[in-house]
Chain A
Amino acid sequence: MNANGFEVQRHDDQELTTLSLKGYLDAHTYPQFETELQKLMEEKRFKIIVQFADLSYISSAGLGVFMGFIETVRSNAGDIKLCAMTTKVFKVFDLLGFPAIYEIVATAEEAKNNFSKNK
């Protein structure tokens, strides 16, 4: 549906994993992202940073993916931290009230620091 498509890039740094999202995350592309997160769960990697810099659109289905994993992650002393959102994407998260549930920060660096702080 979207010519832009969707891409997830994974980068592991010790116990941290950064997932960089690109393109459109909607009802058609979310399974791809879901699979990626599922893989992390299987590998027992629970410290996850999701980087939104290149994400141009997120729909409610895309938002749902985060909800599907947050409980597992947090019960395993991990977290999903969101960073580098464009204003438009942030607005979607904000409207839904995600800032109340997730830590949303400006940069990946900041997210990384917050992980070490909590240690």
Chain B
Amino acid sequence: MKTEVLKKGIHSARWALIGAVVLFLLSLGINSFSFLARVRFSTGNFLNEVLVIGFIGLSIYAVLRFTGWDSMSITKRLRIALLMVVAIYVVGIGITTAAKPEFIAPRFGSSYVVRPNSISGVLVSNMIAVVALTALVICLRILQSLIFYRRKKNTARHFSLLLIVGSLTAISAAFSGKPLKYDGSANHTVTFILLILTTAMMSINLFRVGWITALNRRQKFFTFLGGLIFSIVSAGLLGAEVGGGLTYSDITYSYSVTAGAFLFMTTMFIFLYSLSTTVNALLHLPTAAIYDKKVREINSIMTLSSAINSLFDFNKIVTTVTELTSEAISAPACWLELANQKNPAFRAHFDFTSLKMQTGFHIHFLDLSSRKFIAKESNIPTNDLDHRNYIFEPTEWIIAHKQPLLLNQVKRDKMTKDLLRTPIESLVGVPLISSQELTGIIWAVKSTPFGFDQDDVAIISALANQTAVAIENARLVKESLEKERLQEELRIAHDVQMKLIPQTIPDIKSEITRLRLDIGATTIPANEVGGDYFDFVKLSEWRVGIVVADVSGKGTSAAFYMAEIKGIIQALAGIYPSPEDLLTAVNDVLYGTIDRKTFITLLYADIDISKNELRFARAGHCPMLRIHGGEKTFIASGGIGLGLDKGPIFKKSIEEKIMPIEAGDVFVMHSDGLVEARNEHGEEFGEARLCQALDHITGMSAEEIKTRIISAVRKFVGPAKAHDDLTCVVFKTDDIHKTHALSAPTGIEPIPLGENLNLK
């Protein structure tokens, strides 16, 4: 991995490296030549310095091109830096020991540089310098990456300034040919000022040690040790002898003043930065554990936040929350106690498997309904324990105070005397509060006293807030799904009910009387499903039973009874020729199956058009309206609702009317939803308005009359909401040859008679 990254970097800076190597070889050549030829010409020195500047410049460029440093872990960077410094030492000591180079003291006093006095000296100084420079360039780059770790606005500027001032210092030193020294008289004034400036820039950069905070406790400790080693090693590079009474610095200076100055300043910077790192790492050590904990807490909250957005399953939320809480505060057991929506009792919810896994000690089982800890292996079935009156006092305390509860000495607290026989020593509970309501409690326990502190309470509180939101969300999602499902079911019920209403109007006619029955009918439920219905029972070509009924109450139960009564009537109508007998029989069947509070009101008209006869019975329903010769009469024969009485009273009260029918007679059967339809002012439509709507209807078809009635009701009601189902059946007798568009013969084209709902 490392070599791969390095290779990639080197590849991108290949030309810069080749250039650096060429410059180095040239410099080596010049140095060797000038030594062997015993020529000390200043042009050679000058040329060498230029080559060295180029070499350093190209190396820095090559190293900068390699961006792998910034993505490397901090420890890895530090390891490489250490490796570089060690390399300088090993190579330096190795070469000097092997070659035993000779140097001569500077000719004009100590402020000038030493010179090699043998060809091995030349080679050694060249080799050592190149290794040192390369290694230091890499170290500098690593330092830069550390300084840039918490990059601020001025970070780059300060570092660049350091490089620029440092370069100027090195070049200025090269011109004077003297090694850098913190001694005002040793260097040219310009060089000295530049050196002071460089040092100042170094000190500014020394404070960029923010990367230390990102390390964990162990890493901080090693950084402290590493920093110490670095400062010693870098001090050694500056002052310790390598061989022949010369320091590393001296040898590099002998190769080139620029190189020496670069080594001097870089090493100085490494030394100072190492010291700064050591001190900072040391200062961070005591707080490292707390810092690590904070990081863990933040991670838990983040995990929870992201998990919660995608969690709508209640059990998964419980598992996630308990696991994360355990992890965040290092508690071996954690559970969630939740308020029961319907009943104020709390119940505990948690995942047994996760509890078992995380439980360092043995809470073998925590009874869900009793909130009771059972510490030992227990084979007592849950049912045998009396939990009904069990009160867990800490829960009661939180319910009363809506505050977190921290008990660090469980065995000494009165509130937790029930936990005496358990391994629990510390207990913390934090309320879950959602829209100011207490919805639950997160509990965590430890087997050591003083296991939790205020920070733990804070972290559970943060988790508790998230959890309360998540639980609320899960509840809302469940509710809306439930609502959607119910709506869907109601829609299905509506569709089914609409199919129970006749789809076509039977064609009833008689060649004997030359009459045809013209029928128009509709039912409009107030809600998805209604209790109103109408039906036709075709008894023969010329005889039909017409039913209009209203089941008391509304909604699903009414719809069921409607289906039932339809079946009963369809089955019995053919058997009983008299409506009175039919309804009595219907009541007998119905009474046994209907809920006591429910009853059905019904009109039944048996029309035999071949005999011009209508037999009619009413069971507690609104009377039928008859228009005969322009005269309107409500036919209210006796009869109580179906399902009210088991038989005797019903039989006694029911009354059958037989009346002749003539061409042009109109009959209107309706439900109370029609006459009791209310407008915005609470007024009822009433029978009077119904009669009014039926003025001047001569020549109209039954369908047209029905439409007129419905329009009148709609106009009257206006924007008010329908509060009851509305049913209207109109039938009239007509000449056999007069056919109306909508009185299609049965089975030819189904006409939808149930009007569609306006589902809002």
Contacts and interface: CB of A to CB of B under 8 A. Distances in A.
Interface of A: 1, 26-27, 59-61, 63-65, 67-68, 71, 95-98, 100-101
Nearest to A56: B682
Q: Residue among A71, A96, A97 with the most chain B CB within 10 A? A: A97
A96 B620 contact: yes
A97 B644 contact: yes
Contacts of B599: 60, 63-64, 67, 96
Contact of B553 (A61, A71, A96): A61
A97 B622 CA distance: 11
A4 to B, nearest CB: 8
A71 B653 CA distance: 19
Contacts of B601: 60, 95-96
Contacts of A27: 553-554
B638 A61 contact: no
26 contacts: A59-B724, A60-B553, A60-B672, A61-B553, A64-B552, A64-B597, A64-B598, A67-B599, A71-B596, A95-B620, A95-B621, A95-B623, A96-B599, A96-B620, A96-B641, A96-B644, A97-B619, A97-B620, A97-B638, A97-B639, A97-B640, A97-B653, A100-B640, A100-B652, A101-B640, A101-B645
Contacts of B7: none
Nearest to B551: A60
A14 B723 CA distance: 40
Contacts of B721: 1
Given A67-B596, A67-B597, A71-B596, A100 B552 contact: no
B368 interface: no
Identify whether the interface residues of B are mostly helix, strand, loop, or mixed.
loop
A71 B645 CA distance: 10
Given A67-B644, A96-B620, A101-B645, A61 B636 contact: no
Q: Which 7 A-B pairs have the closest CB atoms?
A: A97-B640, A60-B552, A68-B597, A96-B620, A64-B597, A100-B653, A61-B553
Contacts of A67: 596-599, 644
A58 B653 CA distance: 22
A68 B594 CA distance: 11
B649 interface: yes
Nearest to B552: A60
A60 B601 CA distance: 9
B717 to A, nearest CB: 14
Contacts of B456: none
Interface size bracket, B side: 20 to 34
A67 B601 CA distance: 14
Q: Residue among A1, A63, A100 with the most chain B CB within 10 A? A: A100
A64 B642 CA distance: 12
Interface in B583-612: 596-599, 601
B550 interface: yes
Contact of A65 (B597, B619, B644, B649): B597
B644 A101 contact: yes
Contacts of A65: 597
Contacts of B619: 97
Interface string B10-46: 0000000000000000000000000000000000000
Contacts of A26: 723
Nearest to B619: A97
Contacts of A63: 552, 599
Contact of A101 (B649, B672, B723, B724): B649
A36 B653 CA distance: 30
Interface in B626-649: 636, 638-641, 644-645, 649
Given A95-B601, A95-B621, A100-B645, 15 more contacts: A1-B721, A1-B723, A60-B553, A61-B553, A61-B554, A63-B599, A64-B552, A64-B597, A67-B598, A95-B620, A96-B641, A97-B638, A98-B640, A100-B653, A101-B649
Interface string B388-406: 0000000000000000000
A108 B599 CA distance: 27
Contacts of B621: 95
A27 B721 CA distance: 15
Interface string B546-560: 000010111000000
Contacts of B645: 100-101
A96 B642 CA distance: 9
B549 to A, nearest CB: 11
A96 B654 CA distance: 11
B656 to A, nearest CB: 15
A94 B35 CA distance: 136
Nearest to A98: B640
A25 to B, nearest CB: 13
Contacts of A97: 619-620, 638-641, 644, 653
Contacts of B653: 97, 100
A105 to B, nearest CB: 18
A59 B641 CA distance: 14
Q: Residue among A1, A27, A65 with the most chain B CB within 10 A? A: A27
B616 to A, nearest CB: 15
Interface string B232-263: 00000000000000000000000000000000
A89 to B, nearest CB: 12
A64 B597 CA distance: 4
Nearest to A70: B596
Nearest to B672: A60
A110 to B, nearest CB: 22
A95 B597 contact: no
A27 B724 CA distance: 10
Nearest to A96: B620
Contacts of A100: 640, 645, 649, 652-653
Contact of A95 (B553, B596, B598, B622): B622
Nearest to B623: A95
A95 B644 contact: no
Interface string B331-372: 000000000000000000000000000000000000000000
A117 B554 CA distance: 39
A66 B724 CA distance: 20
Q: Residue among B554, B598, B621, B641 with the most chain A CB within 10 A? A: B641
Interface in B519-564: 550, 552-554
A5 to B, nearest CB: 13
Contacts of B596: 67-68, 71
A70 to B, nearest CB: 8
Interface string B636-680: 101111001100010011000000000000000000100000000
A27 B530 CA distance: 13
A113 B645 CA distance: 26
Nearest to B555: A27
Contacts of B641: 96-97
A2 B641 CA distance: 26
Contacts of A96: 599, 601, 620, 640-641, 644
Contacts of B552: 60-61, 63-64
Nearest to A97: B640
A46 to B, nearest CB: 16
Contacts of B550: 60
A68 B621 CA distance: 20
A23 B119 CA distance: 122
B526 to A, nearest CB: 10
A65 B598 CA distance: 8
A47 B752 CA distance: 51
Contacts of B554: 27, 61
